[in-house]
């Protein structure tokens, strides 16, 4: 089970739900491996301009961050099983959850008042 307090995000691919986590180190590895910024990648995925290699790289780093030991071949098999559209959608959700600040305006105001 994913622990959101640790930045873990559940990711459902087919019949399986995996624990994922994209740390800063994982984001840097993704950017380095694909030679694109993470926001550029998120935008490309949202615009359906994504390559399968991109999905594999993002999923590999997210799944490993969640404690799963998958290689490119295993992740490629998962993508083939669930389909590119489903995999792209789940990767887009994963990136959005990782890049979105979950603090509400009320919580931000409270933190500012405490500072």
Question: Which residues constitute the domain of residue 79?
Answer: 4-114
More confident residue, 46 or 61: 61
Is this structure's pTM higher than 0.85?
A: no
By three-state DSSP, how is residue 10 classified?
A: strand
Number of domains in the chain: 1
- What is the radius of gyration, based on Cα positions, of the chain? 15
Mean pLDDT of the chain: 85
Q: How confident is the model at residue 82 (pLDDT cuts 50, 70, 90)?
A: very high
- pLDDT higher than 70, residue 95: yes
What's the pLDDT at 108? Answer: 46
Q: Report, as an integer, the average pLDDT of 8-12.
A: 85
- pLDDT higher than 50, residue 64: yes
């Amino acid at each position: 089970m994913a622990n959101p307090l640790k930045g873990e995000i559940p990711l459902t691919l087919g019949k399986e739900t995996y624990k994922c986590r994209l740390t800063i180190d994982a984001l840097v590895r993704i950017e380095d491996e694909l030679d694109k910024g993470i926001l550029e990648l998120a935008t490309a995925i949202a615009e359906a301009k994504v390559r399968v290699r991109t999905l594999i790289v993002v999923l590999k780093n997210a799944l490993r961050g969640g404690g799963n030991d998958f290689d490119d071949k295993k992740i490629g098999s998962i993508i083939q099983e669930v389909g590119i559209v489903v995999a792209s959608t789940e990767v887009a959700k994963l990136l959005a959850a990782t890049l979105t600040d979950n603090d509400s305006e009320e919580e931000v105001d409270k933190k500012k008042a405490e500072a």
